[in-house]
């Protein structure tokens, strides 16, 4: 071969080698980033080219797929539909041709869209048999009756709020409601109407912020419901041996390092009250002093055992609840009654009630029971997982007896259920500049059946800016909602 031909051959060989390197770089190294590129329309077209799998509650789908009008420029064949969209939106999230997806719709997208590698055999079989490809299903732990009771209770109350219900023995999420809410069907497509519906839901145009998942993403001062954590810390650290020992709590009580008295709500019997009596009437002085006596480190350690200061993944992410470090004794006292810097999601406070009901064992909360093929073969099953042991079985049972006194003879009477033992704790949490805003009404509780089992623990928070301030209380606004949710779970097991 003469020299010019050899040079041309080498040059062509280098071009082919470059193309091979480039091809392998795109197919293997850059494949994931290209597939996830927001400008790669092929991925979106593929996602909406077949019916999406369903999200399942009580054995029935709460989602669906519908043919999209393909007139104009829309080349996406199917769009998502939702049954009772506003009620289920905090669970499902949304899947929109125009605005993407979030929550379960996003986290389990590969299963729902049918692109998960575990669906390869099923997809291949469908292709051979000529059956239309369809995504797999996400089977949730949710209880439809409990979710309905939670959502309708919040809606009837008005204002804003959230409810979380858990199965204490497993950590299964039975209800996850947030109000106000939104209908994901309203913007599931890619039209001007979808864009307008989306815009109306954005916080800058809608101050009620209906797309905020208040059950998982909003943290509130928990108020007196946090006294359950403080009582657990007192028992676990041996500050008091039981529920009925008189505490060393003067009245008035001046917070350490200050000249400020910690006030109670009204003229209630808090001087040297037992922890049972202090929880029954909700004494700030008793539980504030417990927090100061134990100190920041011990209170923080107990709060963390209940899940504070850590995000939770259900698998939808829940914001971390907060109990602060490096506080002085007076700040620790205020934090120990659920004020100062203390802040909690409704999920977190449901976890507190759940751990007490489950004899001190806190189970990891989760809302996906299993993943299935479109032919309902199980691909993955979630097993209950212990998260921590915030308190011993003995101390948990002491705390149960205290919470049951609150419902039987104290501030939580509105949560009573005939034939069922209910334990609970009310809370009215101050907030705003110098506590000027209407307080948040809280209630946490659990139900215990005659056989000793506890099928449900609940946390409810209600924020009502229009209510008469004097009418706002956890026992008045939140406890009736908790009762209806607990009744729904109990009745569904009959």
- What positions carry a catalytic annotation? 224
8 A C-beta contact, residue 327 and residue 335: yes
By the 10 Å C-beta count (0-12 exposed, 13-18 middle, 19+ buried), 389 is classed as middle
8 A C-beta contact, residue 185 and residue 392: no
Measure the CA angle with vertex 202, ends 200 and 207; round to 5°. 95
By the 10 Å C-beta count (0-12 exposed, 13-18 middle, 19+ buried), 74 is classed as middle
Instruction: Write phi, then psi, for 207 (nearest 5 degrees).
Output: -60, -20
8 A C-beta contact, residue 91 and residue 367: yes
**Rg value, the chain, Cα:** 27
8 A C-beta contact, residue 434 and residue 445: no
CA-to-CA distance for 365 and 348, rounded, in angstroms?
Answer: 10
Best CA proximity match to 52, nearest among 80, 94, 93, 90: 80
3-state SS class at 339: coil
8 A C-beta contact, residue 429 and residue 406: no
Whether a cis peptide bond, with omega within 30° of 0, leads into 315 is yes
């Amino acid at each position: 071969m003469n020299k010019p031909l050899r040079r041309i051959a080498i040059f062509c060989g280098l071009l082919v080698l470059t193309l091979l390197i480039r091809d392998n770089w795109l197919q293997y190294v850059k494949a994931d980033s290209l597939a996830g590129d927001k400008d790669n329309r092929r991925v979106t077209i593929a996602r909406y080219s077949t019916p999406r799998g369903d999200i399942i509650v009580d054995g029935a789908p709460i989602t669906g797929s519908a043919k999209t009008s393909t007139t104009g420029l829309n080349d996406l064949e199917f769009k998502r539909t939702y049954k009772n969209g506003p009620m289920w939106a905090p669970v499902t999230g949304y899947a929109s041709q125009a605005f993407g997806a979030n929550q379960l719709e996003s986290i389990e997208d590969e299963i729902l869209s049918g692109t998960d590698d575990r669906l390869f055999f099923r997809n291949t079989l469908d292709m051979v048999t000529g059956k239309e490809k369809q995504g797999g299903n996400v089977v949730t732990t949710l209880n439809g009756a409990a979710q309905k009771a939670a959502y309708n209770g919040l809606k009837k109350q008005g204002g804003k709020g959230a409810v979380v219900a858990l199965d204490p023995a497993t950590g299964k999420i039975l209800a996850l409601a947030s109000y106000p809410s939104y209908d994901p069907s309203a913007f599931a497509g890619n039209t001007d109407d979808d864009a307008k519906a989306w815009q109306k839901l954005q916080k800058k145009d809608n101050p009620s912020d209906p797309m905020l998942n208040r059950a998982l993403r909003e943290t509130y001062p928990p108020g007196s419901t946090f006294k359950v954590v403080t009582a657990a810390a007192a028992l676990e650290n041996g500050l008091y041996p039981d529920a009925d020992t008189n505490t060393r709590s003067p009245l008035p009580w001046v917070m350490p390092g200050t000249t400020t008295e910690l006030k109670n709500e009204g003229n209630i019997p808090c001087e040297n009250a037992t922890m049972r009596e202090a929880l029954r009437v909700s004494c700030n002085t008793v539980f504030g002093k417990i927090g100061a006596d134990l100190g920041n480190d011990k209170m923080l350690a107990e709060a963390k055992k209940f899940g504070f200061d850590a995000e939770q993944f259900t698998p939808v992410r829940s914001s971390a609840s907060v109990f602060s470090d490096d506080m002085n004794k007076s700040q620790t006292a205020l934090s120990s009654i659920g004020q100062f810097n203390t802040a909690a999601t409704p999920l977190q406070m449901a976890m507190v009630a759940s751990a007490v009901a489950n004899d001190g064992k806190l189970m990891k909360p989760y809302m996906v029971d299993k993943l299935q093929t479109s032919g309902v073969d199980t691909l993955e099953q979630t097993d209950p997982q212990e998260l921590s042991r915030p308190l011993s079985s003995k101390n948990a049972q002491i705390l149960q007896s205290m919470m049951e006194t609150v419902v039987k003879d104290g501030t939580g009477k509105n949560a009573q259920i005939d034939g069922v033992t209910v334990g609970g704790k009310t809370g009215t949490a101050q907030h705003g500049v110098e506590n000027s805003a209407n307080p948040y009404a809280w209630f946490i509780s659990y139900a215990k059946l005659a056989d000793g089992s506890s099928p449900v623990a609940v946390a409810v928070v209600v924020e009502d800016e229009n209510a008469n301030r004097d009418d706002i209380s956890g026992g008045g606004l939140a406890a009736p909602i908790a009762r209806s949710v607990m009744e729904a779970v109990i009745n569904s097991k009959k």
